[in-house]
Amino acid sequence: METIKIKNLPEGYQSIITNGKHTIVGDEPISSKGTDLGLAPPELLLAGLAMCKVATVRYIARKKGWEIGEVSASLDQKVKRHANQKLSTNVKVAIHIEGDISEEQKELLLKESDNCYVHRMIEGDWDIESAIDLEK
């Protein structure tokens, strides 16, 4: 099980986020009364997906012995709110792979990026339990 701990600071919505080994700052944009000193929650989610996709591209290329250079991605999301307050999200993904590889190899790497762990996790079933008081 992976654990993320977060401590919200009094200024805006700044949050110190840690996995016990690494730490980042999250926040909300100024338009949401945050201080915009860190990534917003939807951005953190997209960042995790983007990182997984580019890491998968690199992993598969290494596994096949293909020499590639920089791998970069751009992810955009559009969220639609339905009458029942449910949300549906569309994420557009663009990945650029540098290197001396064929179009067929690039297509395979792009397809494999859709098999990354986070992509499959997001598309899978989620059971998010209700919050409990940490002090109890």
Q: What is the full per-residue pLDDT of the chain (136 aa) written as tens digits?
A: 789 999 999 988 999 999 999 999 999 999 999 999 999 999 999 999 999 999 999 999 999 999 999 999 999 999 999 999 999 999 999 999 999 999 999 999 999 999 999 999 999 999 999 999 888 7
Same domain assignment for residues 108 and 61: yes
What's the domain range around 89? 40-125
Both structure tokens of 106: 């690039």
Same domain assignment for residues 68 and 109: yes
Q: Are 117 and 51 in contact (CB under 8 A)?
A: no
Q: What is the pLDDT of residue 11?
A: 86
Same domain assignment for residues 50 and 30: no
> Helix 41-64 vs helix 103-113: angle between axes, to the nearest 10 degrees?
140
Same domain assignment for residues 117 and 66: yes
Domains: count for the chain: 2
Residue 128 zone, left/alpha/beta (φ > 0; ψ -120 to 50; rest): beta
pTM over 0.85: yes
Is residue 28 included in any domain, yes or no?
yes
**What span, in angstroms and rounded, lies between the C-alpha atoms of 117 and 89?**
18
Is residue 130 included in any domain, yes or no?
no
Domain CATH number, residue 71: 3.30.300.20
Q: What is the pLDDT of residue 135?
A: 80
Q: Are 39 and 26 in contact (CB under 8 A)?
A: yes
Same domain assignment for residues 14 and 51: no
Same domain assignment for residues 94 and 73: yes
Q: What is the pLDDT of residue 115?
A: 96
Q: What is the pLDDT of residue 134?
A: 82
